[in-house]
Amino acid sequence: MAVPSNTIQEVSRVGVREDLSDVIYQIDREETPFISNIGRKGAKNTYVEWQTDSLAAANADNKAIQGDDLANTSRSPTTRVGNHTQIFTKTIGTSTTARAVDTAGRKDEHLYQLTKAGSEIKRDMEKRFVGNYGSVAATNSVAGEAAGALAWLTTNTDLSGAGTPSDGGFSAGTVTAATNGTLRDFTEAQLASAHADAWNAGGKPSMVIFSMNLMFAAGQFNGIADARRETGNKLATIIGGADVYVSPAGQLTFVPDLFASDRDAFLCDPKLWKVRELDPMQRRQLATTGLADRTALYTEATLEASNEAGNAVIRDIEPA
């Protein structure tokens, strides 16, 4: 039908107020399951050190003759290891005009961007600390870098049989990143074996941290079905959705991590990791040189691998 003459239509009018929602929607995920589940402790230097130790192997022939003169047993010293701190920063600059205008969804553009920056730094820390990154000592011209968890692991590791894979690990004050091999299918046998290795070494991993792609693959393992029956067909709750896998070595909770490696499964004992903070998250107002406000948000921290031998990793895997 034709529109009658002189009908007032919105498309040709001026003065119509805009309809802008007062809510700002973000699709980026900011969950940080690794650093949210491990411990926190202060630091006093840019190179943070701690000691690791282990018990002597069990000896079934530990025996003595009655009245015998006892000799001292050999005792292994502790191992001294460390990680370098890394400064994580975001700098926000906002013009005086941008702060003066009436904005939708936030009262102050500068403060809104600082809030976003805080979440972004946490995501940066998660990606660094859960990943395969070596450490770098700070110099006058080089930024310090903290080693991530996957670089620390050397005791219980399942490597690809193809390519030239190798573990990284700590040596002479520095942690080296692991070298990738050729990708292979992710199997339940690998998971059960890695869990058993960590258990035999005295560890008690409770989480498997990996990408969503690898979690989908692990969700098909037989142990998952048994676990669901035992837990009443409910998802375990840590950070977001998770499944419980039951192996002879105990329970493992599957935790997808947006920032985890898409080629490694990290069997983690949260009690054996800590975020060590030299400078907790804080704001620093920068000098005003014109018609703008500038604020730096920063923290300086590193990752402590209290004892990597209590964890395990399956490297170089992809969904079958």
Its sign, for the CA torsion 181, 186, 187, 193, is positive
- Mean pLDDT, the chain, integer: 87
Lowest mean pLDDT: which of 194-198, 223-227, 257-261? Answer: 223-227
Residue 139 corresponds to which tokens in the numbers above?
């110099």
The residue whose two tokens read 């973000």 is 26
Residue 35, C-beta contacts closer than 8 angstroms, at least 6 positions apart: 122, 125, 126, 129, 130, 275
57 confidence band (pLDDT: 50, 70, 90):
confident
pLDDT tens, residue by residue, 79-89: 999 999 999 99
Question: Which residues touch 267 (CB under 8 Å, ≥6 apart)?
Answer: 156, 191, 194, 195, 198, 205, 207, 208, 252, 311, 312, 313, 314
Instruction: Note the pTM of the prediction, 2 decimals.
Output: 0.86
Whole-number pLDDT of residue 246: 84
DSSP 291: S
Is the pLDDT score of 212 beyond 60?
yes
Give the span between the Cα atoms of 71 and 63, in whole angstroms: 12
- pLDDT over 60 at 309, yes or no: yes
Are 317 and 162 in contact, with CB atoms under 8 Å apart?
Answer: no
Reported confidence tier of residue 180, pLDDT bands at 50, 70, 90 = very high
Give the tokens for residue 295: 């604020």
Tokens standing for residue 242:
């998770």
- Reported as a single tens digit per residue, the pLDDT across 9-48 is 555 555 555 555 554 455 555 689 999 999 999 999 999 9
Residues in the chain: 320
Closest by Cα among 238, 218, 30, 257 to 130: 257
**CATH numbers and ranges of domains, the chain:** 33-49+82-315 (3.90.1690)
- Quickly state the pLDDT bin for 229 (edges 50, 70, 90): very low
Q: How far apart are CA 31 and CA 126, in angstroms?
A: 9
Residue 150 has pLDDT above 50, yes or no: yes
Tokens 């029956």 belong to residue? 229
Q: Provide mean pLDDT across the span 122-150.
A: 97
Rg (CA), the chain: 27
DSSP 225: H
Residue 320's pLDDT band (cuts 50, 70, 90): confident
Dist CA 177 CA 314 (whole Å): 15
User: Residue 101 to residues 30, 112, 289: CA-CA distances in angstroms?
Assistant: 29, 14, 21
Q: Which residues, 6+ apart, have CB-to-CB distance to 172 below 8 Å? A: none
Task: Compare 239 and 250 and report the one with higher pLDDT.
Answer: 250
| Residue 233 binned pLDDT confidence (cut-offs 50, 70, 90) | low
